[in-house]
Amino acid sequence: MDRAKFFAAVRSPLFAGKMAEKQVQGVDAILDEAERRGTPLAHLAAMLAETHHETGGRFQPVTENLNYSAQRLTEVWPSRFPTLASAKPYANNPRKLANKVYGGRLGNVAPDDGWLYRGRGLPQITGKENYAKFGLAGTPDKASQMATAIRILFDGMTDGMFSGKRLADYDSAAGYRYAASRAIINDDVKANGEKIEKYGRVFEAALRAAGYGTKKPTVPAAPTAPAKGGLWAALVNIIIKILRGGK
């Protein structure tokens, strides 16, 4: 795969013409894992599209931002905070808010579980039961490490560990259904499916232009005939002697 061609194709339409070093590193890490696993091109494009959306284009693991004003809380969680008065005790208090909105659900049972198991990752996982799916119930901070976040991204989207829906569910003879595949991560398809479609098409075109998945396996060179004399000759003589009974 020609990564220079890939980055040239995505830099302008998706990154306003410029990518920071961390962004490049994040994309490279995903491409490395895809090549290692042999991920189908359209599936990789969908994962890149979701990561672009979920991280705001940063392509680094993020931790959920729970530092909201009272007004914003009434907009994000209107059923939990129907009035400014009900939101004020949790405004600009991320830990208290996490325990309020995530406590008692998603496998969270201890008083501080909402905060401990808040969203982390590329696509973020939230709640103790979801961390447990990836073997992180005892070490939730690992979801913020790139290697672990990439494992969560690939396993979660490939095996349906986020919502039950998998990348393969959206394969189509007419082309990959990127907008609908948003449901793998979140059921907000109406709100964000169009963005995922746009990102997915750009990443797909860039991967094709770069030759992703077209590299043929390297065929080992035929062994060369051993040179006469030297070590090889000595080994042959030893074998002959053994066959003759050591004479």
Q: What is the pTM of this model?
A: 0.84
Mean pLDDT, rounded, for 175-193? 97
Give the mean model confidence (pLDDT) for residues 151-165: 97
User: Nearest Cα to 2, choosing from 208, 219, 203?
Assistant: 208
Q: What is the mean pLDDT of residues 106-119?
A: 97
* H helix runs in 112-213, sequence order: 113-116, 128-133, 146-159, 178-181, 189-209
Q: What is the mean pLDDT of residues 30-51?
A: 98
The arithmetic mean of pLDDT across residues 233-242, rounded, is 62
Is the pLDDT at 171 greater than 60? The verdict is yes
Instruction: Pinpoint the alpha helices (H) of 65-145.
Output: 70-76, 84-87, 94-102, 113-116, 128-133
Q: What is the predicted pLDDT for the residue at 221?
A: 52
Query: Which has more pLDDT, 217 or 138?
Result: 138
Element (H, E) at 29: helix 21-37
Out of 24-28, 139-143, 232-236, pick the least confident: 232-236
Residue pair 118/126 in contact (Cβ under 8 Å)? The answer is yes
What's the pLDDT score for residue 217? 46
Backbone angles phi, psi at 120, to 5 degrees: -145, 150
Q: What is the pLDDT of residues 45-91, one digit of tens each?
A: 999 999 999 999 999 999 999 999 999 999 999 999 999 999 999 99
pLDDT digits 0-9 by tens, 122-132: 999 999 999 99
Lowest mean pLDDT among 62-76, 88-102, 133-147, 232-246: 232-246
Q: What is the pLDDT of residue 218?
A: 47
pLDDT at 214: 84
